[in-house]
Structure 1
């Protein structure tokens, strides 16, 4: 259970949330919603115990399973399987059991072997009390449903893609949550920030069913409306204009109706108050002309002003980032080519012998199952990594713009302004300020550290950097992740109108349709084909 009272959250001097009271009990499945930048990720992080509120207090009871948007860097040398099993401490017990087994087989001295046998017996008993082989099988089942097969589970985390590592972390959290506590129910409160990122359609359907039956608490941030509709029974709406959290004890469909009614009521109250205040002010103006009525006129004017200030601030219209890629810089007929690209991590070969030529203005989509090397290919093309064999060649006038799904092109410890200035050092200051304003960054937000931004805000900042670059070849890795529907449509419109070249990796069919690709690259084999609608069904499976 989590209980927060008198909660105030800030980003710099900007108030995200003021005097909020929030409570998650077993059986509550809360959808945490609001526009990008309203403070959803900040709120979830604080509920998880990562950071302190500006004011108020948070009380936690029971286990917390927290999935942040950005992957965490831990010990990447451990296997994916051990990382999942560590949720219940099974990884250490299994390693100790294997060590004791080896000692039992190798030791010659009877006394030492007897000690090893006794030690193995104690370890086996400890393993059994934590669920034993049934729990290990359960972990494998959860991993399989999230698209992590046996070959992936035995690999070190450092060899996995960012998407695979995030699914390993999700599997670990769900494995911990599925352990029954006293009374046969889970005591774990799940805090999940965009859990469907990097999941295919089958995995999303399985996750939906898992969360519907989770009997602990749940708070979820997601732009997947179908998931919210199927899972949540309570809504927390963060109003970015008022800095308040509105709590709706109802499911997603009834919430949408109630929210619309609330907004109509606020507009009606505002209109009525403005009408009354206008009438009072008119009367005050008339009376003010008479010296004997001056005091009454001032009182009426003050009352009119008070009526307006007492009302809730009128709901501002949802601003949307104006994303438009500029005309690309001039370039040759084929600005980017790659020949015989191969890449391995240790003994694991990701792909080999990949050839491609990106012609001026061409649109290419890269497809492949998770772990097939899609992100790795973009990083090789962008010069962020070096191939084991083969080469990437720049044509005349090549100017690359790379969007990384994990936002690694941003300096997380620098401000919004420093990040945009770094990628566009020669652009006039006012031009950059205008550009950031179009992406909804202005005023004190320019000095806000990038690591305090929400996932959607980081996406907007990274895209602003692309716009400032006038790139003629865009390498885009999941550019619509973490965006609210309105901002996503802006990105799709920008893709439709861009006249330069694009190499796109995405699980979003809408992004592929907006791109209207001519070609498709299939990994890990590197086969190239003309695009056809038949490939659209593979996008969400990839």
Structure 2
């Protein structure tokens, strides 16, 4: 169980949440919702114990499983399968059992052998208590359902894409919460931030079923309305205007109805109070002109102000970043070419001999199953990673804008302002400030470290950098991840109107339809084809 008492959260001096009293108990499946930047990710991180509240207290009892938005750093030399099994300590137990077996095979002395056999027996008992070989099978099943085949599970984490590493982390916490081999209902509380990112349609469907049947407690942040509708039985709405968490002990559809009713009530109450306050102020002004009634006038004015101060702010429509790419810098007929690109991680070959030519204003989608090298290809083209063989051939006037899936183009230790200044060093300061304003970064937020931004805010900052660049070739890797529906539509609309060339990697069919691609590059072979609607199904599967 998790209990938060009078919790206050801040981003710099900006109050995100104030006076929140929250509880997560077994059986709770809670959707944590609110606009981008309201503090959802910060709230989840603090509830998980990976951050401290500015005020209040948080207590935790039992096991927790936490999935952050960004892949965790750590020992990337670990095998993916071992990372998943480590959730129950099975990876180390298996290694210890293998060592014990090898030692028993070498021993001749009966006394030493007896000691070794006893030690092995204790290890085996512990292994069985944690689910044993059935648990290994359960881990494999979870991984398979999340699109992690055996060949990926045998690789080191450093050879995997950011999306694959995140799925390994998701598999790990689901395995920890799984009942298989334990013989009792799970008591693990899951705290998961955007779990459907990087998942294909089948994996999302399976995940919804897993979370719906989980009885240990759940708090989930997601822009997947179908998941929220199918899974949650409670909703926490983080109101960015009031800095408060409204608790609804309702499923998703009933929550939407109740929240709409609450907003109407607040507007009605405020309108009535403003009307009464206005009448009081008018009367006070009339009475204030007479010295004998000055005290009464002051009291009326105080009553009017008290009426207004006691009201919640009326919720305005959430602001949406106004995204519009400027006219791209002039360039030649084919601004970007690549010849014979090859990339491997150790003995693992990602792709080899890939050729491509990106013509001025062309629209290209890169497709391939998870692990085929889509993100790797964009990193090579964007210059953030070195190829093993081949070369990039820049055309006349090439100006690349690269949007990285994991936001690695941002300096997480630098502020919002320092990041945009670095992206556009020659731009006028006032124009950059205006640009950040259109992307909803104003005031104290400009001094906020980029690493403390939510996933949606990082996406907006990275997109602001692209807009400031006047690039003529955009390399976009999952640009709609972590965005609320309104912001996503803004991105898609900007994509439709952009006049430069685009190379797009996405699981979002809507992004592909907005792009209206002409060509498709299929990895790992690097085959090029004309776009057809037949490829649209592969977008979600890839």
In 2: Cα distance, 1:482 partner to 1:169 partner: 18
Give the 5 Å matches for 1:70-109.
70-106=70-106
Q: How does 1:130-145 map to 2 (within 5 A)?
A: 130-145=130-145
> What residue in structure 2 maps to residue 280 of structure 1?
280
- In structure 1, the residue matched to 2:301 is 301
Q: How does 1:241-260 map to 2 (within 5 A)?
A: 241-260=241-260
1:338 to 2:338 alignment: yes
Instruction: Tell me which residue corresponds to 1:534.
Output: 534
Instruction: Give CA-to-partner distance per residue, 1:169-208, whole Å, 9 cap, x none.
Output: 0000000011479982211000000000000000000000
Contact 2:138–2:180 (8 Å) recurs in 1:
no
Alignment partner of 1:184: what SS? coil
1:52-83 superposed Cα distances (whole Å, 9 cap, x missing partner): 11110001000000000010111111111100
Q: State the match for 1:450 in structure 2.
A: 450
Separation of aligned partners in 1, 2:181 and 2:3? 20
| Cα pair 2:208 2:227 within 8 Å, conserved | yes
- Equivalent residue for 1:489? 489
| Counterpart in the other structure of 2:267 | 267
Deviations 1:197-234 (A, max 9, x none): 00000000000000000010100000000000000000
Cα deviations by residue, 1:27-58 (Å, 9 ceiling, x for unpaired): 00000000000000000000000111111000
Other-structure match for 1:476: 476
Q: Do the aligned residues in 1 keep the contact of 2:234 with 2:250 (CA within 8 Å)?
A: yes
Secondary structure at the residue paired with 1:58?
strand
Under a length normalisation based on structure 1, what TM-score does the superposition of the two structures give?
A: 0.98
Deviations 1:383-413 (A, max 9, x none): 1111111111111111111001111111111
SS in 1 for 2:481: coil
**Residue 154 of structure 1 pairs with residue 159 of structure 2:** no
**Distance in 2 separating the partners of 1:112 and 1:465:** 66
Q: What TM-score, normalized by structure 2, do the two folds share?
A: 0.98
Specify the alignment match of 1:2 in structure 2: 2
Specify the alignment match of 1:500 in structure 2. Answer: 500
CA contact (8 A) 2:381 2:392 kept: yes
Structure 2: gaps spanning 5 or more residues: none
Q: CA RMSD in A?
A: 1.4
Deviation at 1:117, TM superposition (A): 3.9
What does the per-residue CA deviation read over 1:218-260, in whole Å, with 9 as the maximum and x for residues that have no partner?
0000000000000000000000000000000000000000000
Question: Whole-Å Cα distance in 2 between the matches of residues 540 and 106 of structure 1?
Answer: 52
- Output the CA distance in 1 between the equivalents of 2:78 and 2:507: 28
CA contact (8 A) 2:129 2:182 kept: no
Q: For 1:258 and 1:138, locate their aligned partners in 2 and report how far apart those are by CA, in whole Å.
A: 40
Q: Does 1:367 align with 2:367?
A: yes
Any stretches of 5+ residues in structure 1 without a counterpart? none
Matches within 5 A, 1:132-281: 132-179=132-179, 184-281=184-281
Native 8 Å contact 2:263 2:314 kept in 1 = no
**Distance change >3 Å, CA 210–CA 421, structure 1 → 2:** same
Write the distance in 2 (CA, Å) between the matches of 1:76 and 1:113.
37
Secondary structure of the 1:338 match is strand
How many residue pairs align between the two structures? 542
* Equivalence for 2:12: 12
